[in-house]
Each structure stands twice: as structure tokens, then as C-alpha cells.
Amino acid sequence: MMNLLTKYRPKKLDETIGNKKQAIEVLNFIKKYKKGKALFIYGPPGCGKTLCIELAADELDGELIRITSSDFCDYENIKKTVLASARQLSLGKRKKIILIDDVDYLSDRGMKRGLKELISQSIYPVVLIAENPFTENMKDIRSYCKLIKFDKIRSDSLKTFLEKIAKKEKIKYDEKALAQMAKAENGDVRAALIDMETMSEITDKSVFSERGMEQSIFETLKIIFKAHELENSRIALSQSDKTPEEVFWWLEENITKEYTKPEDIASAYRFLSYADFFQSLIIKRQSWGMYKYFFDMLTSVNVSSENSYRKFVFYQPPKFFMQLKRQKPKGLSGVCKKIGKMTHTSNKAAMSYIPLIKVLIKNGSRFDFDKEDIEAIRNVRAFL
């Protein structure tokens, strides 16, 4: 089966599911753009936020410039690349649309400073996308933006859409199971198409449970391991409730449970080792521009394009996290706060860096840790 996301991607804005009024607002903002004001689109995953901008760019014959949140980690990089592009005329004098996804990850002052300068100086429309713009982190940015909320896609609309695809692709389905699947996807069209791609038929047995925070990591793993297209894996990783650093450990734990052929296992671990290499460079050199390579290597663990593994796998949590949780070394909470500040991650996500930092300290690297912090780190057993 080919990539359903690509095959059934709308070609025009009026072909999308839901959020018709919002799409018109987006189109009008871009057409009547005035310098100094950005467009901030927000809403739940898979409701068509990014797709709307892509289709608007197509309809207006515009050049879409995609910028990731990692591009804002280095202010000098922002000035040389992002701001320079926002001031330059496009080849052929085409209209540019500057799209920045996942802006809720911008927390550093330098990042916010770069974003504000981009909005105020860009001669082209700047569009920001996030799930929730009303966090304290986004308070300064909101005043520079026009906000448009995208709503969750209704389950009945999603069911009708999935039913048409199932018939065209000749996928066997039970109507009640399809309705259950549409509800379980929680309005996420993208997730529904990715899930459908991994199913040989849609029955009560294949639709396991509702998508939620507790099960999101299991859905993420299933897509990364089983999806036929790497783009689907990238989307799943970006939408996971776990950080990429945490997903790294989940992948490491479950590769041998998912794959059985030695060459597939070797390939998966090879890409995971590449991800580990880039992660170490990011921490040691503060080279945040390499984060996108770390991200790409995680999704490249997928080998299903060559060998299809459709068996059900009961994924296990990483032993590293389980053992670390049981240990709870004294002073580890303070260490995680410091690591989180250094790596621009949450205290929870910072735990995944501890084994690497332990090795770096052993090899002579210096961090802003006192004697108690170093003792706490040394007391954590290595599980690498």
C-alpha cells in the first residue's frame, strides 16, 4: 500500500475536512499581509494547520519557507539565515510564506528575540503553528500575532472520509470498528491515515483502544517501526507526548522485539547509534543546529519499506527509566533541573541525558555541577 497521506492529500483548500472558515481567514491574511504582524494558527494535532498553509501557498503560487524551532536555538544562525531570507526578494519575484512549526518549544530569550525580529522585519507573511498559544512561554509572542483557532475534526466527518478510502483501497472493514477507530483518533486525520496504512483490515481486534497520553508512546513506536514512509515516522515522532530523547530509549528497548531478521536489527541499531552520536555533539558542543539530524536518525530506525512486520508487539518501557526510577539517588532532582536548563528540556526529559553526562564527566568534561551533583550522577548505574 502506498503512502495514504500523500495519495489522499487535498489539492485545494476547499477539499479539506473541516475548518473551512479558518482556511478563508488564513488565505485573506496572507493576501493582505501587513509588515509587523504574524499569523498564529493553533489547535489539536492532525486538524490541518500545516496543510492549510501548504495549500494556501499552492493557491497563491507562493514559495513556502519552512523553519523549525531548532533553527532558533542559535541567535547568530537566525541573523545569517532566517532574517536574511525574510528580507530578500524571492527568485522570480514569487511571494514567500515563512512557516514556523512547533513554536511552543521556543523558550530561550535568544529564540524569542529572533522570532520577534523576524516578525517585525519580514517583508513576507510569517505564520506560526502550535497546539497552545496561551502558555506563559508564548505571552510575549501573542501580542505580535493574529490568532486563528483550528478545531478538532468531528468523528463522523472522519469516519466518512476513512470509509471512502477503505473502499478505494479495498481494505476490509467492519462499520462499527471503523466508527470506533474514527472516535479513537480524536479528530487527528493524519494519525488516522497512518494507522490505516499499518492495518491489513479494520476490525474490533485491530482497533485496540483510544488514542491518549498514556498510549501515545506505543502509537509512536508502532508508526516508526511499521510505517512504509519515513515522513509518517517523522510526523509521529513530532506529535508524540514523549520527547525525542525519551523515544530514543523506547526504540533501543524494543528494536529486537519488533524486528527478527539480523540485517534489519543491525540496520535499526546502526541508525540509533548515529542518533546517539549527534546527541552527544549537541550536548558537548551545544551544536543545536544538529538536532534535526538527531531527529532524522531516530525515524530512520524504520526498515518496513523493505520488510513488512505486521505482527502485534507488546512494547516494553526502557529498563533504563524503570531502574532509574527505582534508584532515586539523593540529589538527582536538582541535577535534572540543571541538565534541563542546559539542554532546554523538561526535568523529566533531562533524565535521559544522565548516562551520557556521566560518561562525559568521567572523560574530563566540566559542567556547572557541584560536588553533591557529581556524586548523585556517579551513583546512577550505567545502563548503556
Of the candidate ranges 266-270, 292-296, 353-357, the one whose mean pLDDT is the lowest: 353-357
User: What local confidence, expressed as pLDDT, does residue 309 receive?
Assistant: 63
What's the rounded mean pLDDT across residues 270-282? 86
User: Residue 106: its pLDDT value, please?
Assistant: 64
Q: What are phi and psi of 99, to 5 degrees?
A: -110, 125
pLDDT of residue 148: 96
| The pLDDT of residue 216 is above 80 | no
Q: How far apart are CA 259 and CA 378, in angstroms?
A: 34
pLDDT at 232 > cutoff 70: yes
Cell numbers linked to 292: 534535526
Residue bearing the bigger pLDDT, 105 or 258: 258
Parallel, antiparallel or unpaired: strands 172-173 and 63-67 = unpaired
**pLDDT of 384 higher than 50:** no
160-183 burial code (b ≥16 CB/10 A, e <16): ebbbebbeeeebebbeebbbbbbb
Of 168-182, 204-218, 263-277, 288-302, minimum mean pLDDT range:
204-218
Of 115-119, 316-320, 335-339, give the range with the top mean pLDDT. 115-119
| Spatial separation of the C-alpha atoms in residues 303 and 267, rounded to whole Å | 8
Rounded average pLDDT over 274-290 = 76
Q: Each residue of 165-212: pLDDT tens digit?
A: 999 988 888 888 889 888 888 888 887 887 787 777 888 766 654 444
Please report the pLDDT score of residue 58 as a whole number. 92
Kindly state the average pLDDT of the residues 76-88.
65
Give residue 87's pLDDT band: very low, low, confident or very high (50, 70, 90): low
- Band the pLDDT of 246: cuts 50, 70, 90: confident
Backbone φ, ψ for residue 48 (5° rounding): 100, 20
Q: What is the pLDDT of residue 163?
A: 93
For residue 285, pLDDT beyond 50 = yes
Calculate mean pLDDT across residues 53-78: 77
352 to each of 250, 274, 375, how far by Cα in Å? 11, 16, 17
Q: Which long-range contacts (CB under 8 A, 24 or more apart) does 28-33 make?
A: 29/125, 29/146, 29/148, 30/56, 30/60, 30/62, 30/95, 30/97, 30/125, 30/127, 31/60, 33/124, 33/125
The mean pLDDT of the chain is: 79
Residue 287 DSSP one-character state:
-
Domains annotated on the chain, with CATH: 18-149 (3.40.50.300), 236-317 (no CATH), 319-378 (no CATH)
Check: CB of residue 230 under 8 Å from CB of residue 299. yes
List the one residue out of 151, 1, 150, 129 whose CA is nearest residue 66. Answer: 129
- Give the pLDDT mean for 26-43: 93
**What pLDDT is stored for residue 79 in this prediction?**
62
Q: What is the pTM of this model?
A: 0.60
Taking only the tens place, the pLDDT of each residue in 104-159 is 766 556 567 778 888 888 888 999 998 888 887 788 888 899 999 999 999 999 99
